[in-house]
Structure 1
Amino acid sequence: MLWLIVAAFVVAFGLTAVLRRYALRRQLLDMPNGRSSHVVPTPRGGGVAIVAVVVALLPVLWLYEAVNASLVWALFGAGLAVALLGFADDHGHIAARWRLLGHFVAAMWAMFWLGGLPALTLFGITLEPGWLGNLLGLLFLVWMLNLYNFMDGIDGLASVEAIGVCLGVLVCYALAASSDGARQGDVELLLAAAVAGFCCWNFPRARIFMGDAGSGFLGIVLGILALGAAWVAPQLLWSWLILLGVFIVDATFTLLRRLLRGEAVYQAHRSHAYQAAARRFGRHVPVTVAVGLINVGWLLPWAAWVASGGVEGATALVIAYLPLLCLCIRFHAGAAEANT
Structure 2
Amino acid sequence: MIFVPVLLCLVLSACLPLLVRPLLVRLGIMDVPNERSSHERPILRGLGLAVLIAMTVSGVVAVIALAVTSPDIERWWVLLLIVVTGTFAAGLLGLAEDLRGLSVGVRSACLLLIALAVPVALLLAMRAFPDPFAAGPLNGITVDRGGALPDFIAVPLPFWVTIALVPYAVLFISSYINVANFMDGLNGISGFHGVIAGLTFAAAGFCSGLPWLVLAGLILAAGFAGFLPWNLSKPGAFLGDVGSYLLGGATAITSFAALLAGVPILATIGPMVIYFGDVGVTLVKRVRAGFKWDEPHKEHVYQRVQQLGYSHVAASSMTALCTLAASLLGLASFYVAPIWWIALLGGGLLVLGVYLALPRLLARGRGHI
Question: Could you say whether these structures have the same fold, taking a TM-score greater than 0.5 normalized by the shorter chain as the test?
Answer: yes
Point out where structure 1 has 5 or more consecutive residues left out of the alignment.
Answer: 119-125, 333-339
Select the residue among 192, 210, 214 that pairs with 2:221.
192
Which residue is equivalent to 2:363?
A: none
Q: Quote the offset at 1:55 in angstroms.
A: 1.4
Which residue is equivalent to 1:335?
A: none
The farther-off stretch of 270-279 and 161-170 is 161-170
CA contact (8 A) 1:173 1:307 kept: no
Which residue is equivalent to 1:253?
A: 281
Which residue is equivalent to 1:86?
A: 94
Q: Quote the offset at 1:323 in angstroms.
A: 3.3
1:40 aligned to 2:41?
yes
Distance 1:314 1:262, change over 3 A: farther
The farther-off stretch of 135-144 and 251-260 is 251-260
Select the residue among 103, 115, 118 that pairs with 2:123.
115
Deviations 1:158-202 (A, max 9, x none): 110110121123333333x34xx6653011111211111111101
Select the residue among 101, 109, 112 that pairs with 1:104.
112
Distance 1:69 1:210, change over 3 A: same
1:305 aligned to 2:313?
no
Distance across 1 between alignment mates of 2:315 and 2:184:
13
Distance across 2 between alignment mates of 1:205 and 1:143:
32
CA contact (8 A) 2:220 2:250 kept: no
Select the residue among 214, 220, 235 that pairs with 2:243.
214
Identity %: 22
Question: Structure 2 matches for 1:104-183, cutoff 5 A?
Answer: 104-115=112-123, 129=161, 131-175=163-207, 177-178=208-209
Deviations 1:217-243 (A, max 9, x none): 1111111111111233241x3212122
Select the residue among 53, 68, 73 that pairs with 2:76.
68
Point out where structure 2 has 5 or more consecutive residues left out of the alignment.
Answer: 68-74, 128-156, 361-368
Distance across 1 between alignment mates of 2:212 and 2:59:
15
Deviations 1:68-98 (A, max 9, x none): 3432443344323322221121123211121
Distance across 1 between alignment mates of 2:35 and 2:353:
26
Q: Quote the offset at 1:292 in angstroms.
A: 2.8
Distance across 1 between alignment mates of 2:290 and 2:117:
32
1:95 aligned to 2:103?
yes
Amino acid at match of 1:251: V
Q: Quote the offset at 1:147 in angstroms.
A: 0.2
State the superposition RMSD in angstroms: 2.7
Distance 1:249 1:205, change over 3 A: farther
Distance 1:330 1:163, change over 3 A: closer
Secondary structure, counterpart of 2:39 in structure 1: coil
Secondary structure, counterpart of 2:66 in structure 1: coil
Which residue is equivalent to 1:12?
A: 13
Distance across 2 between alignment mates of 1:317 and 1:307:
13
Question: Structure 2 matches for 1:225-236, cutoff 5 A?
Answer: 225-235=254-264
CA contact (8 A) 1:239 1:313 kept: no
Distance across 2 between alignment mates of 1:72 and 1:246:
26
Distance 1:72 1:4, change over 3 A: closer
CA contact (8 A) 1:70 1:113 kept: no
Which residue is equivalent to 1:267?
A: 295
Q: Quote the offset at 1:4 in angstroms.
A: 2.4
Distance 1:169 1:58, change over 3 A: closer
Distance 1:15 1:38, change over 3 A: same
Amino acid at match of 2:166: N
Aligned length: 321
Distance across 2 between alignment mates of 1:50 and 1:168:
19
CA contact (8 A) 1:159 1:196 kept: yes
Deviations 1:257-285 (A, max 9, x none): 22334433332211110011111134111
CA contact (8 A) 2:185 2:303 kept: yes
